[in-house]
Structure 1
Amino acid sequence: MKRILAAALISTLSACGGEPGDEWSDTQDSHPEALSGTSASLAQPSPTFIPKPTGPCPEFQEGTLTFRPAGIPARAVRIWMSDAAKTLDGPLVFYWHGTGSQPTEASTGIGTTQINAIKALGGIVAAPAHDPSAGTFPWFYVSSTSRDDDFRVADEVLACAIQKVGINVSRIHSMGMSAGGLNTTQMSYRRSGYIASVATYSGGRVSTIPTQDSSNKFAAMIFHGGASDQVVINFQTVSQNYYNDLKSKTQFAMLCNHGRGHTIPTDARAAVWQFFQAHPFGTVPSPYANGLPSTMPSYCQR
C-alpha cells in the first residue's frame, strides 16, 4: 500500500512542476520482515547491516525525541517528519552539526525546501544533539576518541524509525558541516553497511577509517571552500584526501570547491538532494559516471 501511495505522490509532484530531482522512486519496502537479506529479484541491492532497537523506541513525531540505546547515555535527536511517514516509506537523512552549533543547523544545511520535500515523501530528517563529554568537538570520532556512541545513536534512530513508521532502507543518507562533515566522513565508512550516499560541507578524511562493508560503493558529494577553508585543519586538503581515497576504491565521488571559505554552500542544497535521490544504496555505476547533470554546481568535478 505504501508503494502505491508513493507512486501516486510522485505523479502529483511531477504534475505540479517540482524542483529538478524531485522524482523519487520507492525501490524497497522497509518493513522488518523484508530485512533478512538481499533478494535476487530486487532491481536495487538492499543493505544487510540493518540494526535492531536496543532500547525503548519513542513514538515518532516532529520535534525533539529522546533515544535510549543500550549501554550509553540517552540522547536527544531533532526529528523532521510529517504524517506522510505513516503511509509512505521515505528516505532517512542524518545531519551532523558543526562545532558550537545545534541540531537546528539542519534547516540551513539541508534547506527548508528540501526538508519539506523529504517530509512529503514520508521521509525523516534526524539531527542528533551532541554529547558534551565528546570533548573539544561535538562528535566522539572527530575528537579522536574511540567511542562509537554517536553512531550507536544513529543505529537506534534507524532501527526505531523502521519499527515505528517504516522507511526505505535503500535511501539512508548522511551530511554535515565542519565537525559534522568530518563525522559524516566517519559514518560513511563505519556505517557503510547501510549508508547509500553522503554529502560533506568542509569535512574530509584526516586519517585511515575502518570500513564496515567494503562491498558497498557508496557515493559522496564532497564540498570545501578552497584555500581559505581552514579551522584547526585545512579542509581543502582533507576533502581532497577523502575524494582520492574513494576514487582509489572505484567509488563515485564529486569534489566541489565553492571558494567561499568555511561556509555552507547554500546554493548547492537542491543539488545535494538531487544527488541523494540519484544514489540509493548500491547504485553502481553512478548515473553521473559519464557526466554531471546541468543542475549540479558548475564548481563540481567528478
Structure 2
Amino acid sequence: MRSLLLASIPALLLCACTSEPGSDGELDTDTSGDTTEADTDESGDGDGDGDGDGDAAEPVPANLPTPTGACPTFETGYIPFAPGSIDQRTVRLWVGDNPQPGGLLVIYWHAYTSAPDEAALTFSVPVIEAITAAGGIVAAPYSADDVGEFPWFVVNGSSRDDDMLLADEIVACAIEQVGVDPRRIHTTGMSAGGLQTVAYSMARSHYIASAASFSGGAFSQLPFEDASNKFAAMIIHGGDSDIFGGTVNFKTLSTAWFNQLSGNGNFAFMCDHGLGHTIPQGYGSSVANFFFAHPFGTEPSPYAEGLPAEFPTDCGS
C-alpha cells in the first residue's frame, strides 16, 4: 500500500464553519426511488456515447479492495468497521430502507473540530435522502483515537495509512454486502476533510470515480497512484478570504490541485463562492449531480462543453 505524507503542515485550525447558500443545482429530491436527473443516459442510445450502438464497454476499476475483516450490516447509523490491520473504527452511514445493487458510494471526510454528521450539513438531508433512495450510500468515518491534533493522519503530517485502509474496507464491504457499483466510488470533504479528500483521491486513484473538495488542496504536490484514471474533480473554495490560521490560503491550495489535475488531463473545474473558510450551504445537490454524472472512466466529461445551467454561477471550467 502506498503511504502519503503531507509535509510541513502548519498548526492551524481547520474548522467546520458554515454560511448561507448562493445559487444551486436542481437535484431530484423525490425519495420515491427515482434516480437523480444526472443519473441518466442523455444520448438515448443505451451506452451514453451517442453512436446508437448501445454496446460500448463500461470501464471498471481493476484491483478493487476486498474485505480484510468481517463486514458489518449496512444500515443507517453509527456502524463499526474492523479492517484486519488497523483498530476498529466507527463510520456514520446513511443507507436507504431497501438498498439495491448498483448505487453509488460517497465517502465524506469531516473538518477539524467537527464530526461525521457534518455530511448532512454539507449535502442537506433531502439530498442525502435522494442519494439513498437511488440506491446510494453516504459513509462518513470517525477519526482514529490516536490520530493526533487533526482528524486525519495525512493532515498531521503522518505516513500512517489507516484512513486509506479504512476507506478501502468501506468500499470493499459496500460492494460485497450491498452491491454498490464499483464504477461509482466518490469522495468529498471540508477543510481538513478537504485536504484528506485530495490525499485519498490521489492515493486511491485506481478506483476513485470523481471527487469534490471543499476548501481542500494539498500543501505539496501528491503523486497519482494511477495517473491513467483521469477522475473528474469539482474544486470548491471561498475565494481570497478562504484563509485560516493567518497563513494558509485554501484558494491557493485548491488552485494548485486544479492545475495538477488539468496537467494530467483530468477534467476539473473550480467554484469560488467568495464566503471565506466556510461550508457554502446549497452546493450539495450540485456535488451529488456531479457524482452521478461522473462514474469511473467518464471521458470526455458530460460537462466538458459547459456546466449545467442550474449549477452555482460561481462555478466554471
Whether TM-score is above 0.5 comes out as: yes
Higher share in helix:
1
The TM-score bracket by the shorter chain reads 0.7 to 0.9
Across the aligned residues of Structure 1 and Structure 2, the Cα RMSD in angstroms comes to 2.1
Q: State how far apart, in whole Å, the 2-side matches of 1:42 and 1:79 are.
A: 34
Q: State how far apart, in whole Å, the 2-side matches of 1:197 and 1:130 are.
A: 22
Shift of 1:219: 0.5
Question: Equivalent residues in 2 for 1:20-59 (5 A)?
Answer: 21-25=36-40, 43-59=57-73
Instruction: State which of 96, 110, 125 in structure 1 corresponds to 2:109.
Output: 96
Q: State how far apart, in whole Å, the 2-side matches of 1:46 and 1:114 are.
A: 26
Instruction: State which of 298, 303, 308 in structure 2 corresponds to 1:283.
Output: 298
| Match of residue 190 from structure 1 | 203
Matched, 1:248 2:263: yes
Matched, 1:140 2:153: yes
Structure 1 residue matching 2:278: 3-state secondary structure: coil
Q: State how far apart, in whole Å, the 1-side matches of 2:211 and 2:286 are.
A: 12
- CA offset digits 1:165-222 (Å, max 9, x no partner): 1101111100000000110001111011111001111001221212221110000000
Question: Equivalent residues in 2 for 1:227-246 (5 A)?
Answer: 227-232=240-245, 233-246=248-261
Matched, 1:159 2:172: yes
Structure 2 residue matching 1:248: 3-state secondary structure: helix
- CA offset digits 1:251-272 (Å, max 9, x no partner): 1111111000011111221111
What is the aligned residue count? 274
Q: State how far apart, in whole Å, the 2-side matches of 1:259 and 1:105 are.
A: 21
Instruction: State which of 59, 62, 76 in structure 1 corresponds to 2:90.
Output: 76
Query: Does the CA contact (< 8 Å) of 1:88 and 1:121 recur in 2?
Result: no
Q: Higher relative CO (CA 8 A, sep ≥ 6), structure 1 or 2?
A: 2
Shift of 1:240: 0.5
Q: State how far apart, in whole Å, the 1-side matches of 2:282 and 2:219 are.
A: 26
Shift of 1:65: 0.7
Shift of 1:44: 2.2
Unpaired segments ≥5 residues, structure 1: 1-11, 27-40
Q: Which runs of 4+ in 1 moved over 4 A?
A: none
Query: Does the CA contact (< 8 Å) of 1:79 and 1:126 recur in 2?
Result: yes
